Amino acid sequence: MHIAVLAKVVPDYEVPAMDFELSNNRAHERFSRMLGLYDENAIETGIQLKAKTSSSLTIISYGTDGDVQFLRKGVAMGADKLILVKGTSDDPSVIAQNLKLAVEELGDVDLILAGQQSADMDRGIVPGILAQMLGATFIPQVGYIESKDDLWNVNQITSTGKRELEFKGLGVLSITSIPENVPRIPAVRAIFAAKKKPVVKLDGVDQGKMALQEISVEIPKSESVCEFINADDPNEAVKTLLNRLTEERFI
């Protein structure tokens, strides 16, 4: 069996709002780059599934040559190889078409995993578009996956609990975070070994853009002024806090 995981390299998603800045309407290039957080959950899920089903695992990405060094972390976590489709579009439909090229290049993919949302575009839409383009089943917010004969059995985390779902054939699943798929930290030896694993590069296409025009990207101003309550004496602090909350009619 062959599992593919879609992963995207993004600017540091932990930069606090105060330090965040834009250049050319995108995150400033001075921020370090890394794998998206949910993409790492998807890789972790894929690696666990690979072990249980004796599958091979390929990481697929659409991006630039410079992303390869960061994608190698996913290989060090336990993937077998990398396939990069080269391009720079942020358009979800263009991205999905390029990912589809990689899936077709591999030819024998049985299951495709992706992160719930990329850590830069916050959209959660690329996996669903790709699924439709491939004629595959799309299920978002998946936690657990099991392979049962010719069926996939998955748990989807909903806002009120979970749904256990089953399907046959090619599926694209976007992975949410659960304690069981917190990404492993690769060992130093694995990081070195990952440098030797194969990387296939494909030239991307830049067509089929969505009919959306980008008007502006702006950083909203934050106006909150925090009133610090002295906590040297916790009893006093509690009294002050409750007084202030009642005075301002919050409680």
Partner 1 sequence: MKTLIIENIDLKKIGELVTVSKQFCDAPDIIALGEGDIPGSFGKAWQFGQAVPANLVSTVSNIIKQENYEVILMSVSTLGSGLAGPLSAALAAPAVTEVTAIHPDLVVDRPVYGGKAIIQHKIESTPTILTIRRKYFEPAQLDGTTAATALDAVEDKVTLVAETHEQTDGIPLEDANVIVSGGRGIGDPENFSMLQEMAHQLNGAVGASRGAVDEGWASPTKQIGQTGKIVAPSVYFAVGISGASQHLAGIANSKCVVAINKDEDANIFNRARFGVVCDYKKIVPILTQAIMEGK
Ligand X SMILES: Cc1cc2nc3c(=O)[nH]c(=O)nc-3n(C[C@H](O)[C@H](O)[C@H](O)COP(=O)(O)OP(=O)(O)OC[C@H]3O[C@@H](n4cnc5c(N)ncnc54)[C@H](O)[C@@H]3O)c2cc1C
What residues numbered 111-140 form the site for ligand X, per CB under 6 A?
A: 117, 119
Range in contact with partner 1 (rule: CB under 8 A) among 72-80, 104-112, 189-197, 240-248:
240-248
Instruction: Judge contact between 158 and 99, C-beta under 8 A.
Output: no
Based on CB atoms, which residue is closest to ligand X, 58 or 117? Answer: 117
- Of these partners, ligand X, partner 1, none, which one is at the site of residue 66 (CB under 5 to 8 Å by kind)? none
The reply on whether position 45 binds partner 1 by CB under 8 A is no
Return the number of other C-beta atoms located less than 10 Å from residue 107's C-beta. 7
In Å, the largest CA–CA distance within the chain is: 68
What are the E-state strand segments in 96-148?
111-115, 137-148
105: number of Cβ within 10 Å: 14
What single DSSP character describes residue 147?
Answer: E
* Nearest residue (CB) to partner 1, 188 versus 211: 211
Structure tokens at 101: 């090229």
> In terms of C-beta density within 10 A (0-12 exposed, 13-18 middle, 19 or more buried), how is residue 173 classed?
buried
Q: Residue 241, interface with partner 1 (CB under 8 A)?
A: yes
Min dist CB 45 to partner 1, Å, is: 14
Query: Per CB under 8 A, which region of 57-65, 103-111, 196-204, 233-241 contacts partner 1?
Result: 233-241
Task: Indicate whether 54 belongs to the interface with partner 1 (CB under 8 A).
Answer: no
* Residue 83, helix vs strand vs coil: strand
Residue 95 interacting with ligand X (CB under 6 A): no
Q: Taking CB under 6 A as the criterion, which residues in 12-31 touch ligand X? A: 13-14
Among 179, 189, 203, 247, binds partner 1 (CB under 8 A): 179
